[in-house]
Amino acid sequence: MMQGERKIPTQIQPKATDYGYDLDRAIGAVLNLSSRVPDDAFTAETLGTERAGNGVVIGENGLVLTIGYLVTEAESVWLTTREGRSVPGHVLGFDAATGFGLVQALGDLGTPALKLGRSASLKVGDKAVLAGAGGRAHCVAVELIARQEFAGYWEYVLDEALFTAPSHPHWGGTALIGPGGDLLGIGSLQLQQGGSASARPINMVVPIDLLRPILDDLMTRGRANRSPRPWLGLYATESEEGIVVMGLADGGPAETAGLQGGDVITAVAGEPLSDLAALFRAIWALGDAGARVPLTLRRDGRTVQLSVMSGDRDTYLRAPSVH
């Protein structure tokens, strides 16, 4: 999950005079974050073993919020301030439903914390800053261009994700700083908006309002205090044929049940599907992790009925090491 070293053009970098808060102090809360994951970790093949991005200090005690894929199964985490001070970190928790990851610095960062805001307050058309580590030259002055549902191929749905432009080239774990100088979201992805001829890169940001209900749980339990959703371990995408299985997690429930790459999923428990979000929501509606998931597939021109015993995604992942 290493992102390219593309520079941010000067014309889209934020200017301190355009904001009613101390811009440099706010973006000083954003750190470089790097992690190392064991070669045999469940996510090593898909996410890599050397991961790098950003983290945001949200507590004066060195509590750091990031995007979860940077720290999932990490055996070591390092946090580096704008001044070049590096401090080890310990992964406190990860939440697959939202995508947030939480890290505790194991030393003094000497960095101010960014106050949590209300992402619901940011309206389409509002100006904000998507901040990476390293000062203004690593930040983008952005606009909120949409609030809408987002479905990710890895069994992930946000009811209302935030989408910003221009795009930040080093988006993972960036801080979306709102007009009041507070944290409104965490950068997750870069996507393309529009058709191929006129497509422009944009960023998807996870709203900070999703953190509030689970923050205490992540700090104390390492995971949100909710029943785990059924997880199949499949990667799917929408195509002209329908919802197509692109790949399968090694040893996951879907692979064990006999799903194959190229299968087109047409129904869950007999209910036809409209899109990727509908697929995942239909699976989750069948109960908690461990629920049986009946799938109707189209494979090589014929209809196949398959039943998958779902699992709990977290049980396939290495737990954070104890410090």
> Residues 13-44: pLDDT tens digits?
999 999 999 999 999 999 999 999 999 999 99
In sequence order, which residues have a C-beta less than 8 Å from that of residue 279 and are 6 or more positions away? 236, 243, 265, 268, 273
pLDDT at residue 2 in the model: 41
pTM of the model: 0.95
Which residue bears the tokens 């929501």? 281
Q: Which residues pair with 165 in a beta bridge?
A: 143
DSSP secondary-structure letter at 309? E
| Two tokens, residue 265 | 């999923």
CA atoms of 119 and 266, how far apart (whole Å): 35
The predicted-structure confidence for 238-276, as pLDDT tens digits, reads as follows 999 999 999 999 999 999 999 999 999 999 999 999 999
Q: Which residue has the higher pLDDT, 2 or 213?
A: 213
pLDDT at residue 322 in the model: 53
> Using alpha carbons only, what angle is made at residue 318 by residues 244 and 79, rounded to the nearest 5 degrees?
100
The pLDDT mean for the chain works out to 95
Q: ω into residue 166 within 30 of 0, thus cis?
A: yes
Rg of the chain (C-alpha set): 20
What domains, with CATH codes, occur in the chain? 1-226 (2.40.10.120), 234-316 (2.30.42.10)
pLDDT, mean of residues 53-68? 97
| Two tokens, residue 46 | 């898909």
pLDDT at residue 1 in the model: 38
